[in-house]
Amino acid sequence: MFPTRPIRFTALLAALAVTAIASAAAPADATLEANKKVAIAFYEAAINNKDYEAATKFLGPFYKQHNPTAQDGAEGLKGFIDFLKERFPTQKGEIKRVIAEGDLVVLHVHSTRGDNTPGRAIVDIFRVQNGKVVEHWDVIQDIPEKPVNNNGMF
């Protein structure tokens, strides 16, 4: 017969390991969810509402822009929002997916400009640091009028 003491000790160690993993995952999950909320709120303020003042509440001390057609910093964001207001006042982005990993949040967006075209598929990537958006990348693809498959882009 096997002694029960080593089995109990092993079970205790396993339970402690599971508890430690769950405890470590809980704050990480909470941070990911908080980062998602910040990125979504920033996107809504800046892109859908075209409200620079509201968007700045979600900006960090510096905003690094990787889109080669936009300026760096808060002033670059302001210029982009002003551009949207002037050229595409009815433009809207419908967020289809939100993915977060580490300090990055990815928004998969269907953007339409109110011009009766199918719009564009956009992937916006935001780096969130201390609850603020500090960096942005994007990938933009026009949605074709006549796709060669029926799978859709979202």
Residue among 137, 126, 146, 112 at smallest CA distance from 32: 126
Q: Name the one residue in this structure whose structure tokens are 């809504």.
A: 44
Q: What is the pLDDT of residue 54?
A: 98
DSSP line for the chain: ---HHHHHHHHHHHHHHHHHHHHHHHHHHHHHHHHHHHHHHHHIIIIIS--HHHHHTTEEEEEEE--TTS-SHHHHHHHHHHHHHHH-TT-EEEEEEEEEETTEEEEEEEEE-SSSS--EEEEEEEEEETTEEEEEEEEEEEPPSS-SSSS---
Predicted local distance difference test score (pLDDT) of residue 1:
57
Give residue 77's pLDDT. Answer: 97
Q: Each residue of 1-45: pLDDT tens digit? A: 555 566 666 655 565 555 555 555 677 899 999 999 999 999 999
Domains of the chain (ranges; CATH) run 4-142 (3.10.450.50)
pTM for this structure? 0.82
Residue 28 has a pLDDT of: 86
Per-residue confidence (pLDDT) for residue 13, from 0 to 100: 57
Q: Which residues pair with 107 in a beta bridge?
A: 98, 124
Q: Which residues of the chain register pLDDT less than 70? A: 1-25
